[in-house]
Chain A
Amino acid sequence: MLEIKDLRASIGEKPILKGIDLTVPSGEVHAIMGPNGSGKSTLGYVLSGREDYTVTAGTVTFNGADVLAMTPEARAAAGVFLAFQAPVELPGVNNANFLRTALNAIRRAHGESELDAIQFLKLARAETKRLSMPDDMLKRNVNVGFSGGEKKRNEVLQMAILRPKLAILDETDSGLDIDALRIVADGVNALRGPDFSALVITHHQRLLDHLVPNRVHVLAGGRIIRSGGPELALELERRGYTDIMAEAA
Chain B
Amino acid sequence: MAADSETLDTVQALTQSGYKWGFETTIEMDLAPKGLNEDIIRLISERKEEPAWMLEWRLKAYAAWLTMEEPDWARVEHPRIDYQDLHYYAAPKKKAGPRSLDEVDPELLLMYEKLGIPLKERAILAGVEPDPDERPQIAVDAVFDSVSVATTFRETLKKAGVIFCPISEAVRDYPDLVRQYLGTVVPIADNFFSALNSAVFTDGSFVYIPPGVRCPMELSTYFRINARNTGQFERTLIIADAGSHVSYLEGCTAPQRDENQLHAAVVELVAHDDARIKYSTVQNWYPGDANGRGGIYNFVTKRGACRGARSKISWTQVETGSAITWKYPSCVLIGEDSVGEFYSVAVTNNHQQADTGTKMIHIGKGTTSTIVSKGISAGHSNNTYRGLVRIAPSATGARNHTQCDSLLIGDQSGAHTVPYIESRNPTAKVEHEATTSKIAEDQLFYCRQRGLSEEDAVNLIVNGFCKDVLKELPMEFAVEAQKLLAVSLEGSVG
Contact = CB atoms under 8 A, between A and B. Distances in A.
A109 B445 CA distance: 18
Interface string A147-165: 0000000000010001000
A101 B449 contact: no
B464 A73 contact: no
Interface string B418-451: 0000000000000000000000111101111111
A58 interface: no
Contacts of B461: 90, 93
B465 interface: yes
A12 to B, nearest CB: 12
B3 interface: yes
B452 A105 contact: yes
B451 A106 contact: yes
A197 interface: no
B412 interface: no
Interface in A48-93: 48-52, 71-73, 75-77, 81-82, 84, 87-93
Contacts of B468: 92
Contact of A105 (B2, B440, B456, B464): B456
Contact of A77 (B4, B451, B456, B467): B451
B41 to A, nearest CB: 48
B446 A87 contact: yes
A172 interface: no
B463 interface: yes
A87 B453 CA distance: 19
Nearest to A161: B450
B463 A93 contact: yes
B481 interface: no
B464 A102 contact: no
A74 to B, nearest CB: 9
Contact of B448 (A52, A76, A84): A76
Interface string A101-115: 111011001000000
Contacts, number: 81
Contacts of B456: 101, 105
B378 interface: no
Contacts of A92: 463-468
A52 B441 contact: yes
Nearest to A168: B449
Nearest to A93: B464
Contacts of B96: none
User: Which of B441, B449, B454, B461 has the largest number of chain A CB atoms within 10 A?
Assistant: B449
B290 interface: no
B8 interface: no
Contact of B450 (A49, A50, A89, A162): A162
Given A51-B2, A90-B460, A92-B467, A76 B445 contact: no
B450 A51 contact: no
Contact of A76 (B4, B450, B454): B450
A162 B448 CA distance: 13
Contacts of B449: 48-49, 72-73, 75-76, 81-82, 84
Main secondary structure of the interface of B (DSSP, over half): helix
A205 interface: no
Contacts of A109: 451
Nearest to B453: A73
Interface string B449-492: 11111101000110111111000000000000000000000000
Contacts of A102: 447, 450-452
A52 to B, nearest CB: 7
User: Which of B2, B4, B446, B454 has the largest number of chain A CB atoms within 10 A?
Assistant: B446
A141 interface: yes
A191 B453 CA distance: 25
A146 interface: no
A109 to B, nearest CB: 7
A91 B465 contact: yes
Interface string B1-13: 0111000000000
Contacts of A98: 447, 450, 460
A141 B443 CA distance: 13
Contact of A72 (B445, B464, B466, B467): B445
User: Which of B456, B460, B461, B463 has the largest number of chain A CB atoms within 10 A?
Assistant: B460
Nearest to A106: B451
A88 B465 contact: no
Contacts of B460: 90, 93, 97-98, 101
A133 B309 CA distance: 49
Contacts of A76: 448-451
B451 A51 contact: no
A141 B451 contact: no
A81 B449 CA distance: 7
Contacts of B465: 91-92
B446 A90 contact: yes
Interface string B71-107: 0000000000000000000000000000000000000
8 contacts: A50-B445, A73-B448, A77-B451, A90-B443, A92-B468, A93-B464, A105-B452, A158-B450
Given A92-B467, A101-B460, 15 more contacts: A49-B449, A50-B445, A51-B441, A71-B448, A72-B448, A72-B449, A75-B449, A84-B449, A88-B440, A91-B464, A92-B468, A93-B461, A101-B456, A102-B447, A162-B450
Interface of A: 48-52, 71-73, 75-77, 81-82, 84, 87-93, 97-99, 101-103, 105-106, 109, 141, 158, 162
Interface of B: 2-4, 440-443, 445-454, 456, 460-461, 463-468
